Amino acid sequence: MASLLYVFPHPDDECFGPAPALARQRRAGHEVHLLTLTRGEATAQRERLGLSKAEMAETRYTEMQDVAEALDLTSLAVREYADGELAECNPLTLEDEIAIHIHETQPDVVVTYPVHGISGHPDHLVTHAVVKRVACALRADGAAHPQRLAFFTLPPPADDADRPGHLQHSPEALIDCVESVSDADMATAREALYCYETYRPVIDEHQPLRSVGTRIRFEIFGETHDPPLPSLTDGLQAPADAPLVSE
């Protein structure tokens, strides 16, 4: 079995994104870890609910505990960097945070946002940059983990898709892995998504899992796979502590 670490900036990034793949990976017996860099306190939902930033942060942290249980995550770590302000952080500090967590969890695969961040949110873009830099530095040092760096992305929208116009997808030529998920995986992802009670109006309006679909797409940094791999863990070196390499 392999180990995967997902790194995102906000609570709900995993559930508005690759949650069905996380469910599939746990069902297959892999370890799945989640690191979230903020508590998501700057959301506009805070004003709707009449909560302070501190109250919203605590509420969303509690919701994430329920998400971790619904997805049966191997571990969940939530940091307290300022939501919406990652661009103001010292990137070296963020890199150290991520590198330490990689050392602790020893994932074979690290997953984060692609260069466009899907939504273009500045926190998404910063997270992509710092995670990629950490993975490349570990590669240069010959570290055993991770073996692979992947970027979750959306499929192209269907002609009749009701998808927010600001969302982006990666070109098909960059897709190196497509994980097909089951109805049970989608049900697990949906259960996890609805743990975010504070986001219920947004979830009901946009139904984010419809944009994700049942074929979860990933770019793989430094690798080219045509046809795409059916799993992010396919083709990993054995033993799992082999150095990260590109094809």
Determine the average pLDDT of the residues in 171-185: 98
- Provide φ and ψ at 37, rounded to 5°: -85, -25
63 confidence band (pLDDT: 50, 70, 90): very high
pTM for the full predicted model: 0.94
Distance CA 123, CA 156 (A): 23
pLDDT tens-digit series, residues 204-217: 999 999 999 999 99
**Residue type at 125?**
L
CA distance to 136, 197, 201, 221, 228, per residue, from 110 (Å): 12, 28, 31, 10, 18
Task: Tell me the HSE value of 221 on the side-chain side, using a 13 A CA sphere.
Answer: 24
pLDDT tens-digit series, residues 7-39: 999 999 999 999 999 999 999 999 999 999 999
Distance CA 124, CA 191 (A): 24
Pairing of strands 3-8, 31-38: parallel
Residue 156's pLDDT is 93
Tokens of 79: 């940091």
Domain 3-220 has CATH 3.30.420.40: no
What kind and span of H or E run contains 216? strand 215-220
To the nearest 10 degrees (0 to 180), the angle between helices 53-71 and 19-27 is 40
Spans of all domains in the chain: 3-220
Tokens of 227: 């046809």
CB 122 within 8 A of CB 87: yes
DSSP state of 137: H
CB 98 within 8 A of CB 7: yes
DSSP state of 172: G
CA distance to 21, 29, 152, 164, per residue, from 118 (Å): 17, 28, 9, 11
Residue 89's pLDDT is 98
